[in-house]
Amino acid sequence: MTLPAPNLDDRHFQDIVDEAKRLIPRYCPEWTNHNLSDPGVALIELFAWMSEMILFRLNQVPDRLYTKFLDLVGIEPFPPSVARVDLTFWLSAVLDTNVVVPAGTEVTTAIGAATGEDVVFSTTEDLPIGPPDLFAAKTGTASNDQLLVDAWDDLRFPGSEVVCFTTAPLTPGDAVYLGFRHTLGGNLLRLSVSASIEGIGVDPNNPPIVWEAWSGEAWLHAPVQLDTTGGLNRDGQILLQVPRTMGALSLGGTSAYWLRCRLIPARDGQAPYQTSPRLASVTADVLGGTASAEHASAMPGESLGRSVGAPGQTFVVGRPPVLPRAEGEVIRVVTTDRAEDWLEVSDFTASKPGDAHYILDDATGTVTFGPAVRYPDGTVRQHGAIPPDGAEILITGYRHGGGAAGNVGAGTLNVLRSSLAYIDRVTNLEPAIGGVDAETPANAKLRGPLTLRTGQRAVTARDFERLTLEASTEVARVRCLSPSEPAAPVRLLVVPQLRRRPMDQQLDDFALSDPLVARITSHLEPRRMLGTTVEIGTPYYQGVTVAALLTSLAGRPAELVRQRALEALYRYINPLSGGTNAEGWPFDTDLNASPLAELLEAVEGVERVEEVLLFEYDLRTGQRHGVGREMIHLDRQSLFLSARHQVVVR
């Protein structure tokens, strides 16, 4: 049971007015008009209102003491989190030389640029853009990518053609591979294709093929921005957004950086190839590249003041809050004979008197140097060195930003703050995600008792889950699997935040980025028990296809009812928005046809649900497995993910 917060004075406006009126006969008996129209009564009400405001502030003292107590025990409000997004830079022309977009390139929104209220994003890495060197081509099946047929000579010499998918009859998984001498990671690649109309039968606007790039560990989806070839059926161009991670792979005895076009099963509404498309030639050009960026403005170095030679000095940067420091962003102490970079630490517990340490509070931008602490034996110990008297305190640079304002929509970051050679324009193809405002004191008060009770150590499964959620706002859900044996590792199954609609989410969207894994690791490392090994991964996503037969109400358009039913299914069977509480499909919860029937009956325009069947679906191969059934079981390491639901409305 929590202790009640004391109310130091519970009087309100009317109580103060009534008390003042009761004292009038004692101190001023000649005052007999106590009506509201009397000027004296108006003055009483005015001073009663002012007194109530003072009492209100007086009653906030326990809250301030509570907040100060949390600060004393090391519980501080979380600083704002930074939104991140991929920025795509387009070249002004096809070049035969290398171009580098340097890290720290700033891009802003057009709205607010004139008033200074624009949202600024900075790239976090150098983006090299260079001409591609296509030197190999192969065909074969993805089920055995070492038994491939060399097709390079047929592709580069006139008069010959390459059959893209060689298995007869055509089998999903067949692919044509293009090998490049250097990595194309993050580049916008244009393939100019010369082809004949041989791959008949398909919808040219929706062919059953996907483009993929080898990342060094797996084949990653390469989104198609433009395809004028009608599915490799005619002369045209294909514009691919190559994943930023690309690794070399040896295929058929040739080591290269590989792209492939893979045949997939025809989806709902797609027509399959009747015969394989044929390529006469392929040339490659780079039109731009994609780099990761974060909601931040780079601030130059600035002077914070001069030391007075006393313990526990504090200095404040000019533009808080401050983002986590990048390489080279440090505090520098400058004296008459030298300049020394000091080391940032989380606290002064282990700091000795000669250690050049400091603390930098991200939320307030306050730099604190080591204090002098008196101990019970009477000795005074200095924790951390003291900057010499008169020394100038400099910060070499820092980044300012963060907050929910950085969650801008797709296509809004399109203004370069400074011109770059050979760069024509820039945009963000996807919305920015991950921006969260700084924690409010009210939420810190709620979180404080929980932290004090559980501590900052990862001992139980709940501890691991709580600390993983605290590590980054990009973590939406996490489940900790306790080790089955004493020497086995603790497994964390992490589901990342996504801002795409459930209908647009693909399996690759749920992959964990390297920066996110690094943040979780660095947060858990000092908090795990000695000897505990932690593995960070993702759940196994079990694809599910729902086949439903519905009857619509009279006068309701069947296509509209079908679209509403599909949206309800994709939203309900989803790791982030699924389940009855819309907080993500629960672990260890099977999928049953009966709740789905109730869900579909509640859709606007549905008169009744005739039949609901469930099919297991392989999200990698794009194939359904088994026959339709009324229940699909889920193990403790898995979550359901919707895939190609089929709804018929009559």
CATH code (residue 488): 3.30.300
How confident is the model at residue 574, as a pLDDT? Answer: 95
Please compute the mean of the pLDDT values over residues 354-381 and round it to a whole number: 91
Q: CA nearest 289: which of 145, 160, 132?
A: 132
CA distance 467 to 521: 10
More confident residue, 142 or 373: 373
Nearest Cα residue to 90 out of 239, 312, 216: 239
Residue 1 has a pLDDT of: 35
Query: Which tokens belong to 510?
Result: 């749920």
Q: How far apart are CA 106 and CA 300, in angstroms?
A: 14
Average pLDDT over residues 458-466: 87
Is residue 124 in a domain?
A: no
Q: Report whether pLDDT(453) > 70.
A: no
Where does residue 353 fall: left (phi above 0), alpha (psi -120 to 50 degrees), or beta otherwise? alpha
Question: Edge-to-edge strand order for the sheet containing 339-341?
Answer: 296-306, 392-401, 331-334, 339-341
How far apart, in whole angstroms, are the C-alpha atoms of residue 330 and residue 304? 12
**Residue 279 identity:** L
What is the arithmetic mean of pLDDT over 118-124? 90
* Residue 47 token pair: 């001073």
68 within a domain of the structure (yes/no): no
**pLDDT of 113 above 60:** no
- Predicted confidence band of residue 142 (pLDDT cuts 50, 70, 90): low
Instruction: Say how far apart CA 178 and CA 263 lie, in whole Å.
Output: 15
Same-domain check for residues 151 and 187: yes
Least confident among 126-135, 439-448, 602-611: 439-448
SS (H, E, C) 327-364: CCCCEEEECCCCEEECEECCCCCCCCCCCCEEEECCCC
Q: How many CA atoms lie within 13 A of 489 on its CB side?
A: 8
Q: Of 378, 398, 418, which one is at a domain's C-terminal end?
A: 398
Average pLDDT (377-401) is 92
- For tokens 């499909």, the residue is 585
Q: Say yes or no: 138 and 275 in one domain.
A: yes
Cα Rg, the chain, nearest whole Å:
32
How far is the CA of 163 from the CAs of 169, 231, 598, in angstroms?
A: 13, 13, 49
Confidence of residue 3 (pLDDT cuts 50, 70, 90): very low
| Same-domain pairing of 312 and 368 | yes
Cβ(192)–Cβ(282) under 8 Å? yes
Task: Indicate if 150 and 267 belong to the same structural domain.
Answer: yes
pLDDT at 140: 86
Cβ atoms 149, 137 nearer than 8 A = no
Residues in Cβ contact with 10 at an 8 Å cutoff, skipping those fewer than 6 apart:
none
For residue 188, which of 95, 94, 285, 287 has the smallest C-alpha distance?
A: 287
Instruction: Answer yes or no: do 149 and 181 share one domain.
Output: yes
pLDDT digits (tens, 9 = 90+) for 318-344: 988 888 888 889 999 999 989 999 999
- Residues listed for the chain: 650
**585 vs 69, more confident:** 585
Partners of 398 in beta bridges: 299
Domain end call among 11, 27, 59: 59
* pLDDT of the residue at 632: 93
- Contact in structure between 284 and 189 (CB atoms under 8 Å): yes
**Which pLDDT tens digit goes with each residue over 249-265?**
998 889 999 999 998 88
Is the domain of 208 the same as that of 148?
yes
Average pLDDT over residues 369-395: 93
Domain of 52, in residue numbers = 1-59
In a domain, 413, yes or no: no
Task: Give residue 512's identity as a one-letter amino acid code.
Answer: L
Identify the pLDDT of residue 455.
65
- CATH code, 172: 2.60.120
Residue 105, classified by CB atoms within 10 Å of its CB into exposed (0-12), middle (13-18) or buried (19+), is buried
What pLDDT does residue 286 have? 94
530 plus 548 within the same structural domain = no
In a domain, 578, yes or no: yes
Percent of the chain with pLDDT over 90: 43
Round to whole Å and give the CA distance between 73 and 441.
Answer: 15
Give the DSSP H or E segment for 458: none
Which pair of tokens denotes residue 60?
């906030």
- pLDDT for residue 2 is more than 50: no
Band of the pLDDT at 116, cuts 50, 70, 90? Answer: low
Kindly tell me the sign of the dihedral angle through the C-alpha atoms of 449, 450, 456, 459. Answer: positive
d(CA 563, CA 559): 6
Distance CA 596, CA 549 (A): 12
Report cis status (omega within 30 of 0) of the bond before 204.
no
The answer to whether residue 437 sits within a structural domain is no
What gap in Å lies between CA 320 and CA 80, rounded to an integer?
11
The per-residue pLDDT of the chain, averaged, comes to 87
Number of domains in the chain: 5
- Residue 417 inside a domain? The answer is no
Is 401 in a helix, a strand, or coil?
A: strand
- Residue 249, SS3 per DSSP: strand
Task: Let me know whether 265 and 333 are in one domain.
Answer: no
Rounded to an integer, the average pLDDT of 235-240 is 94
* Cβ atoms 240, 211 nearer than 8 A: yes
Backbone phi, then psi, for 278, in 5-degree steps?
A: -125, 140
**How far is residue 350's CA from residue 346's CA, in Å, rounded to a whole number?**
10
Q: For strand 392-401 and strand 296-306, is the pairing parallel, antiparallel, or unpaired? A: antiparallel
* SS3 label, residue 565: helix
CA distances from 538 to 222, 245, 510 (A): 21, 19, 8
Give the separation between CA 377 and CA 583, rounded to whole angstroms: 55
Q: Examine the pLDDT at 173 and tell me if it is beyond 90.
A: no
Q: How far is CA 61 from CA 52, 77, 190, in A?
A: 15, 19, 65
Domain identity same for 581 and 521: no
Query: Is 20 within a domain?
Result: yes
Residue 80 resides in a domain: no
> What is the structure's pLDDT at 137?
94
Distance separating alpha carbons of residues 41 and 400, to the nearest angstrom: 54
Contact by Cβ (8 Å): 546, 614: yes
Pure H helices in 472-578: 514-524, 558-572
> Do 154 and 261 reside in the same domain of the chain?
yes
Asked if residue 139 and residue 252 are part of one domain, the reply reads yes
Looking at 415-535, list the stretches that DSSP marks H as alpha helix, in order from N- to C-terminal side.
Answer: 441-454, 461-471, 514-524
Q: What is the pLDDT of residues 31-51, one digit of tens each?
A: 887 887 888 888 988 998 988
pLDDT band for position 122 (50/70/90)? very high
Query: In this structure, are 237 and 260 located in the same domain?
Result: yes
User: What was the pLDDT predicted at 144?
Assistant: 64
Query: pLDDT above 70 covers what percent of the chain?
Result: 94
H helix intervals, 460-585: 461-471, 514-524, 558-572
Residue ranges with strand state E in 181-277: 187-196, 209-214, 219-221, 224-227, 236-241, 248-251, 254-263
**Average pLDDT value for residue range 492-505:** 87
Residue labelled with tokens 């008009």:
33
